[in-house]
A = this chain, B = another copy of it.
Amino acid sequence: MSLIILIIATLFTTAQLSDNDMNDPRRTLNLMPLPAELETTGGVFELDSTFAVGFETEPTRRLVNGVNRFMHRMGGRTGIFFDHPHLTKETRVESPKLVISIKREGMLVLEEDESYRLTISPGRINLEAETDIGALYGLETLIQLLNTDRGGYIFPGVTVTDAPRFPWRGLMIDAARHFMPVDVIKRNLDGMLAMKLNVFHWHLTEDQGFRVESRVFPELHRQGSDGFYYTQEQIRDVIAYAADRGIRVVPEFDIPGHTTSWFVGHPELASERRRYEIERRFGIMDPTMDPTREEVYDFLDRFLGEMAALFPDNYMHIGGDEVTGVHWMENERIRRFMEEREMEGHRDLQAYFNNRVLAILQKHGKIMVGWEEILHEEMPKNIVIQSWYGRDSMIEAARGGYQSILSNGYYIDLIQPTDVHYVNNPLPPDSPLTDDEKKLILGGEATMWSEFVSPETIDSRIWPRMAAIAEVYWSEDVPTVNLPQRGRETVIPADMLTPEIRSMIADMYRRLDVISLQIEEHGLTHIRNYEVLLRRLVNGYETGRLRTLVDVIEPVKIYRRPAQRVYTSHSPLTRVVDAARPDAKVARDFRELVRVFLEEGATDVQKKAEIRRQLEMWRDNHQQLLPVIRRSPILEEIRPLSEKLSQLSELGLTALDLIGSDRFQDREWMALRMQQIENARQPHGQTEIMITTAIEKLLLKVPN
């Protein structure tokens, strides 16, 4: 037995972790999100074609489907022709190797039991759960444990006891600004289940498009969508697909602002009476529903009633964000309405509107969710606040007795690096909330706003970063850093990183790499479409030179992209900025290499050689990329960036030669070079070089 254990032990990749973490066996496996408890029991389960699943209790349809998908993926990864690759509810396997027992079908409601217990021993695996949803999670953990030894595929002998930290673990996809076809949604639902996420928040209406078929008011989708909307059959199909994966679908109909597309077919709902066209630009627009007219509530009653029947979830999201109030204040009748009711500003009018909508939702059996702007002293406590702009609104909501969901700090459309999201603990150890207030924090949701993504690129903005965020929602064992500007950082300040947090982040990145690759099997395109975009950009198959550059650049962060160029919903999303990926790994690894090299006193010969090798490659890349740029005018915009990368690398090489030498440089020398560094920080084509600070660090070590 001990030999086998030894072999297994060498198989698990390990990262540099502090002694304490190193003893945690979870850190030696490739699990994400980290389970609550894991114990190694020794031995391995060896996989062959007789591997088959059986049920100790009557399986639900969801569980049978889940097992069939599991077996299909197992076949896909191992190439094994299983004897029982596919089960029906009637199938009885003679001697199953994996035995599943559940107590009941899980309900798609908040606080459903999602726990499971997985026991792997040689020749036998047991998976027990209260609900079939818990069992699905157990299967996801099991497939992450799939490993190899010299003889073939195995599962290590472990016992996993697991349950989530938060009951609301969500991903919001904005399918309105850019329409996302059903297949995009479905593959992301598969990715969500793999990461034990359980709420798909579907942002369905916007100024730029009304994306759901309404049979009651068909002019909404007919005139508001350019033909790009989900039919009710498609909606039902997606809901069933999600339900099969233990995922709730919470639809959002954003009102009273963000509603231009509604007004194309129904201008009578608007505060300003005129003809409307679908909005093509992005930003915060003034068109807003008129909260003073009863017909608007009649309309909403019928429309939301239709949607309440279509979407079975208990919750419905009414948006409520970014209401400018301009069209209200410009309308004399509306102003009078406000004066008569002694409203002090447009926020009061919105609270009035929200209360009316709340009554409608309640009539249709739904709990209201809205963005933090709906928080208002006039609102009752039975609504859910989604904090996005600042985390304070979550605190304020909880103190006010409201349930809330944290999205601030999880805006994945802002292209922040993974670790910035990862250290954003909704309830950090020093949370100012009382225990009772903490219970009001339901969980978190990452938001994928779609101004700058197409079906071709959206996956690369969601994954793999979403997986690390999912861990924050699921697991207790995540690091906390209280960042100064919550939700706006593009880097964690070095002085806030303790060795322990550093090692937890390093371990997260290690596991993220593995997971990112695994979820490709669901059809997710976050890895594969990178080369597709590069090929189109160079108009050929040889992407190497361009890739060398794009591997170390990223799109500009936060809201700088629209600030640098005016986009509409028909602007191309096929430029270098769209190919470039968030949290560029090559650049990140280089930064880490330089950091450790300098921290260790800049004496490690191997690290120095590796830094030099990289810098020489980047230095020489520009000349080789130039002919590619000449053949592809679309690349012209990043020519300066390519040149600057070359110059930066030259600078880095110079610094590398001087560090540790006795050749002191004067202030002028340094100032000139710092000027170059600053210059290299300037974006081109809305992208920026991600190794500039590392080069700066090298320079600062030059004797002077």
- Show the binding face of A for B, using Cβ within 8 Å: 71-72, 75-82, 85-86, 88, 148, 150-153, 181-183, 226, 231, 233, 280, 455-456, 513, 517, 520-521, 523, 525, 527-529, 531-532, 535-536, 539-541, 565, 568, 570-575, 630-634, 637
Contact = CB atoms under 8 A, between A and B. Distances in A.
20 contacts: A75-B570, A75-B571, A76-B536, A76-B572, A77-B634, A78-B572, A78-B634, A79-B572, A79-B633, A80-B572, A81-B572, A85-B570, A148-B539, A150-B630, A182-B183, A517-B535, A517-B536, A527-B535, A528-B531, A528-B532
Contact of A148 (B81, B182, B633): B633
Contact of A86 (B148, B182, B527, B570): B570
A659 B575 CA distance: 50
A298 to B, nearest CB: 30
Contacts of A539: 77, 148, 517
B79 A152 contact: no
Contacts of A637: 79
Nearest to A571: B81
A243 to B, nearest CB: 14
A79 B575 contact: yes
Nearest to A541: B517
Contacts of A536: 76-77, 517, 520-521
A77 B537 CA distance: 7
Contacts of A148: 539, 631-633
A529 B528 contact: yes
A153 B79 contact: no
Contacts of A632: 148
Nearest to A574: B76
A634 B632 CA distance: 40
A570 B85 CA distance: 6
Contact of A79 (B86, B531, B634): B634
A330 to B, nearest CB: 28
A79 B574 contact: yes
Nearest 10 pairs between A and B by C-beta? A85-B570, A75-B572, A79-B634, A183-B183, A76-B574, A528-B528, A152-B633, A86-B570, A79-B575, A233-B233
Nearest to A234: B233
A652 to B, nearest CB: 25
Complex copy number for this chain: 2
A630 B150 CA distance: 7
A500 to B, nearest CB: 28
A282 B181 CA distance: 33
Contacts of A570: 71-72, 75, 82, 85-86
Contacts of A78: 572, 633-634
Nearest to A634: B79
A528 B571 CA distance: 24
Contact of A520 (B86, B153, B535): B535
Contacts of A525: 528
A202 to B, nearest CB: 18
A197 B660 CA distance: 68
A479 to B, nearest CB: 26
A80 B572 CA distance: 7
Contacts of A82: 570
Nearest to A573: B76
Contacts of A456: 523
B153 A633 contact: yes
A78 B630 CA distance: 13
A241 B150 CA distance: 50
**Among A78, A568, A573, which residue has the most Cβ atoms of chain B within 10 A?**
A78
**Residue from the set A182, A568, A573, A574 with the largest chain B CB neighbour count within 10 Å:** A574
A571 B76 contact: no
Contacts of A81: 565, 571-572
A449 B326 CA distance: 60
Contacts of A226: 86, 88
A527 B531 CA distance: 10
A181 B522 CA distance: 14
A99 to B, nearest CB: 21
Contact of A540 (B72, B517, B521, B540): B517
Give the most central of A150, A183, A455, A637: most B CB within 10 Å.
A183
Contact of A532 (B80, B150, B520, B540): B520
Contacts of A513: 541
Contacts of A517: 535-536, 539-541
Contacts of A529: 528
A456 to B, nearest CB: 7
A634 B77 CA distance: 8
| Listed residue (A88, A456, A531, A572) with the most chain B CB atoms within 10 angstroms of its CB | A572
A467 to B, nearest CB: 16
A299 to B, nearest CB: 25
Contacts of A535: 517, 520, 527
Contacts of A571: 75, 81, 85
Contacts of A527: 532, 535
A278 to B, nearest CB: 9
A174 to B, nearest CB: 19
A150 to B, nearest CB: 7
Given A72-B570, A150-B630, A182-B183, 20 more contacts: A75-B572, A76-B536, A77-B536, A77-B574, A77-B634, A79-B575, A80-B572, A85-B568, A85-B571, A86-B570, A88-B226, A148-B632, A151-B633, A152-B633, A231-B233, A455-B523, A517-B540, A521-B536, A528-B528, A528-B532
